[in-house]
Amino acid sequence: MGTSIGEIVFYVAIALIVIFIFVKILEPTKAEKEEERRLKESLSDEFLYDPETGARFTVEQAEKGTWIAHDNPKRIKSDEEINKYYSGSEIVVEQIANHLKSAGCERYEFTEEEISILSETKMLSNYDDWSYSSVFRFPESDDLVFFPTVLVSNTNRHGSFFRGQQMLFWLAVDHGFGHYYLRERRPFEKFFDLIKSDDEFEIDGMEVFTIAKSEEPLKTRHLLEKFALSQEIEIELNGSSLFVKTTDEPNLERFLELEKLLLT
């Protein structure tokens, strides 16, 4: 029996749907188109750009070393400059950097010891790799904020490749409070905690991992509760250091909310 017209129409329709899906998958996203536009624009510019100083100079000047940087770490970058030379979460980080500089925060360089402390935190060592940028110290304090870029590359363990920027506050607290790591409670953990909770103390919506017990558990719980009010967040308390990190990409409005919560 020959193939009916209906069957032919059906198979043609399926083929068209498959082609449409592949076209949509391969079609550049809005963000990718914007990045391509920005890249073409920067390549067509005869000048090179130094993001720290805002200086623009020719390749010849760079090769001969005849340009002057005029380094100014407190310089506020214009929206035009940010949108031209940055993309994605970099734009938000530069907007936050402008806010911090306007508020009197100073650029800061981590010591090797501080980088070692950060590398040993549970919240960063959970990733396959991490780097950082734009470290600032708040006025008249030892409190810091920076923007780690985290990497997940082990697809067998995590399911997919991931690379993205986050926001991390490093705050000094008055006393040693043991070592605790908190993250949002997962659905299956909520179920098992209803049967029997294994957390040292309960904090709404958070799973509490005790690495070293505090000698003042009530004071520790009170301190952690204050900072566990925001979603998509991780908290780590280790001695006199408190780390608060987002798990989503930088957002100016979110940053301002956390800044107010953590520093007041």
Token pair in block for residue 149: 């870029």
Q: In angstroms, rounded to a whole number, what is the distance separating the alpha carbons of residues 154 and 126?
A: 12
- The confidence score (pLDDT) of residue 130 equals 93
pLDDT value of position 124: 95
Instruction: Answer whether 0.85 is exceeded by the pTM.
Output: no
147 and 233 share one domain: yes
Number of domains the chain contains: 2
Residue 216 exposure: Cα atoms within 13 Å on the Cβ side:
10
User: Do residues 126 and 219 both lie within one domain?
Assistant: yes
Query: DSSP of 93-121, one letter per residue?
Result: HHHHHHHHHHTT-EE----HHHHHHHHTS
pLDDT for position 65:
54
Residues 38 and 156 in one domain: no
Q: Which residue range forms the structural domain that includes residue 201?
A: 106-263
Mean pLDDT by 10 residues, the chain (264 residues): 62 69 60 55 54 56 53 82 89 96 94 95 92 93 94 60 86 85 75 58 81 86 79 90 93 93 85
Establish if 95 belongs to a structural domain.
no
State the pLDDT at residue 51. Answer: 59
> CA torsion angle for 14, 19, 22, 28 (degrees, to 10)?
-140
